Amino acid sequence: MVKANQRVTIAVDAMGGDHAPDDIVEGAVMAVKDDDEVEVALVGHPDIVESELAKYDVASLPIRCVRADDIVEERENPALAVRRKPNASISVATRMLKEGQAEGLISAGPTGAIATSGIQYLGMIEGMERPVIGGAIFDALPNTVVFDCGVNMDCKPYHLLTFAVIGVVYCKKLLNIANPTVGLLNIGAEETKGNQLTRAAYQFLKKSGFNFIGNIEGHHIMDGEANVLVCDAFTGNVLFKFLESIGMFHDSAGREKDSDLGGGLIWGVNGIVRKLHGASRAPHVALKISHVKLAVKADLISAIKSELTRIAQEVNQ
């Protein structure tokens, strides 16, 4: 847990993204200028990163370069690349988290490499079998979050319960909702509706101790009754892309949707790891460094662990 007056060190993959390293470095410089609670470690090839840093007056700023001599490319198999390239920027940055040299991580590199590196070096939180991406994706409903939005296409009922854990912690810690309502996205309101997955997940959620309000049909999503909408990633990703197509997203400093621009926290790994959209520019990088700092200070990992311990006891009674 980071103390209130202590700087948060963010490891930034300086080599990941369409506009790396120039926009990544510029965004990191903007972040430490704007926020005196942030320290940045730019991870990448020192000649390249230091050449970019030389464009700015950073002598008095808490920003430094950490050596990484390799890069994971978009076209590579992420699992193989992370294993074969221990000195890649994303691998070095993730090990900094593991070793306590940083409290948070951001990268605009390939999603698969970021998630794989997180799993390999940080491991999964006990009780979480798979990483999850999601968050507040509705412009009109900033207090409603959706999990999963893009990782777990084929799920078991217990997985949906863990997605609810993530959603509840998100609402409590980042949206300040004391007792968030939880709904299961389904084709009907009755308990017996849906497929085998949703019917079994309903029973888990009913016993979870959460403020579970039952099934939520598609035409009731926008009612805002559920603060947390739970679904498999196949359903969540269809919803996400439909909303994207009709322009219902937002991305503001005051109220962040965690899946903005195809990015978001990689929930479930044992550390604060954030994926940025590959096309992120400097202002977006700076903003997300600030958001990662807030996630660290909110102690999200401890909150998730506590909820997982509690629901394991509830559903096994």
What CATH superfamily is the domain 134-247?
A: Isopropylmalate Dehydrogenase (3.40.718.10)
- Give how far Cα 158 sits from Cα of 34, 190, 234, 312, Å: 42, 20, 16, 10
CATH code of the domain made up of 8-128+266-298: 3.40.718.10
> How many angstroms separate the CA atoms of 244 and 137, rounded?
9
The answer for residues whose C-beta is within 8 angstroms of residue 207's C-beta and 6 or more apart is 314, 315, 317
Peptide bond preceding 47: is omega within 30 degrees of 0, i.e. cis?
A: no
Distance CA 130, CA 261 (A): 22
Consecutive 10-residue averages of pLDDT for the chain (317 residues):
77 96 97 96 97 95 96 89 94 97 96 92 93 84 90 90 95 94 95 93 94 95 93 90 70 43 80 92 95 94 94 77
Residue with tokens 């506590």: 306
**Cα separation values, 51 from 17, 48, 257, Å:** 18, 5, 34
The residue extents of the domains of the chain are: 8-128+266-298, 134-247
**8-128+266-298 and 134-247 share one CATH topology?**
yes
pLDDT at 3: 60
Query: Which DSSP symbol is given to 101?
Result: S
pLDDT score of 176: 94
pLDDT at 256 (0 to 100): 44
Of residues 18, 25, 75, the one with CA closest to residue 45: 25
- pTM for the full model? 0.86
- Strand arrangement of the beta sheet that strand 181-185 belongs to: 134-135, 145-147, 228-230, 181-185, 211-216
144 with 189: CB under 8 angstroms?
no
Q: Tell me phi and psi for residue 105, to 5 degrees.
A: -145, 140
How far apart are alpha carbons 70 and 86 in whole angstroms?
8
Are 132 and 151 contacting, i.e. CB atoms less than 8 angstroms apart? yes
The reported pLDDT for the residue numbered 152 is 83
